Amino acid sequence: MMIWNTNASLIETQLVPENAYFRQASEFMQSWLSGKEEFIFHTSGSTGLPKDIRVTRIQLQSSAFLTGKALNLPKGTRALVCLNINYIAGTMMLVRGLELGWDMTITEPSSNPLLEFEDPDFDFVAMVPFQLSTCLADEKTKHQVEHLGKILLGGAPIQVSLQKQIGRLNVAVFHSYGMTETVSHIALKRLNHPQPDNAYTVLPGIHFGVDHRGCIFLQGVVTGNEKVQTNDLVEITSENSFIWLGRADHVINSGGVKVVLDTVDQIVAEVFYESGYTNNFYSWHESDEKLGQKLILIIENNGDELSAEHIIKELRKRISVYQTPKHVYFVDEFIKTPTDKVDRQKTAQAVLG
């Protein structure tokens, strides 16, 4: 079993683990306990080009205490650390554990971290959606999810099928909004009982607003009191909450009407789920003499027969004519980026010629 148990007191007397990943975690925690003041993290590029940024100890501490208070995770919390500690989300689990006095069980990153345990019993775990989806799909682990206490998801959108499964869980599940520049999350959204949230609630002490495009900016101790401007379009719903609409670079102008492609994708996902379609897809655009940019839908074949007519018909019932794709294209395989993300631009070029 590849796990390592530790906490702020225990690590002082523990031998350095032989396992390379656990040794890396130990070295970070030792540097933290020694009072190290600055750390370097690599951004994902959500607020611009990927880059290395310096983060101070105060920023990390502030983030840890915000999470502890927001999710009521006191001293003695039993936490499963299964996110990659080479990235901010995984590192923050270690910082929270040390600063808040948690008992941490660390596993090497995997798609299903629960396979390491016969009978897991934790108070808190942070995962990416793919990990939770994999745990729920595995007969050995799907029932163990109920023993994870509070679950925090981040790093990717929640697919419709996973959201439906989360709605049936008894444990509390939250989705986070944040990035490296904000030192992990600065807002949380409850995904299940007693009532799922429609909007993200911003954590105390975080100042936020929107620029001329309607994209959210953030500022607080966690950002080093620097203003972090994002490319995320949001609708502010109250003095401390917002709804995420999509990326500013995923907006087209069709006949003088702005269409947010991410919003269309969310509605298409609902139609696909209800229709039993499991194909990958995304909304895009092509040139049109009348509209300027015409909304289209690109679907990856997976062997199943899909009805473009049915898809368009169902979408028309739910969204405006401008948000309804004017044409559906099918492609055998999406072109991927070096980081295994769909290259929307190149795939569309290959489809449209």
3-state secondary structure the chain: CCEEEECCCHHHCCCCCCCHHHHHHHHHHHHHHCCCCEEEEECCCCCCCCCEEEEEHHHHHHHHHHHHHHCCCCCCCEEEECCCCCCHHHHHHHHHHHHHCCEEEEECCCCCHHHHCCCCCCCEEEECHHHHHHHHHCCCCCCHHHHCCEEEECCCCCCHHHHHHHHCCCCCEEEEEEEHHHCEEEEEEECCCCCCCCCEEECCCCEEEECCCCEEEEECHHHCCCCEEEEEEEEEEECCEEEEEEEHHHEEEECCEEEEHHHHHHHHHHHHHHHCCCCCEEEEEEEECCCEEEEEEEEECCCCCCCHHHHHHHHHCCCCHHHCCCEEEEECCCCECCCCCECHHHHHHHHHC
Q: Where are the domains of the chain?
A: 3-204, 255-352
What per-residue confidence (pLDDT) applies to 303? 82
pTM beyond 0.85: the answer is yes
How do beta strands 251-254 and 257-260 pair? antiparallel
What per-residue confidence (pLDDT) applies to 284? 96
The residue-averaged pLDDT of 138-156 equals 94
Share of the chain above pLDDT 70, in %: 97
- Evaluated on CA atoms 18, 22, 28, 33, the torsion sign reads negative
The CATH architecture to which 3-204 belongs is 3-Layer(aba) Sandwich (3.40)
The residue-averaged pLDDT of 335-353 equals 86
146 near 169, Cβ under 8 Å?
yes
The residue-averaged pLDDT of 56-72 equals 97
* Domains 3-204 and 255-352 alike in fold: no
What per-residue confidence (pLDDT) applies to 50? 67
With cut-offs at 50, 70 and 90, classify the pLDDT of residue 31.
Answer: very high
What per-residue confidence (pLDDT) applies to 336? 87
With cut-offs at 50, 70 and 90, classify the pLDDT of residue 44.
Answer: low
The residue-averaged pLDDT of 246-266 equals 93
Q: What's the chain's average pLDDT?
A: 93
Express each pLDDT in 219-236 by its tens digit: 999 999 999 999 999 999
With cut-offs at 50, 70 and 90, classify the pLDDT of residue 187.
Answer: very high
Assigned CATH for 255-352:
3.30.300.30
What per-residue confidence (pLDDT) applies to 337? 81
What per-residue confidence (pLDDT) applies to 92? 97
What per-residue confidence (pLDDT) applies to 45? 53
The residue-averaged pLDDT of 144-157 equals 94
Share of the chain above pLDDT 90, in %: 82
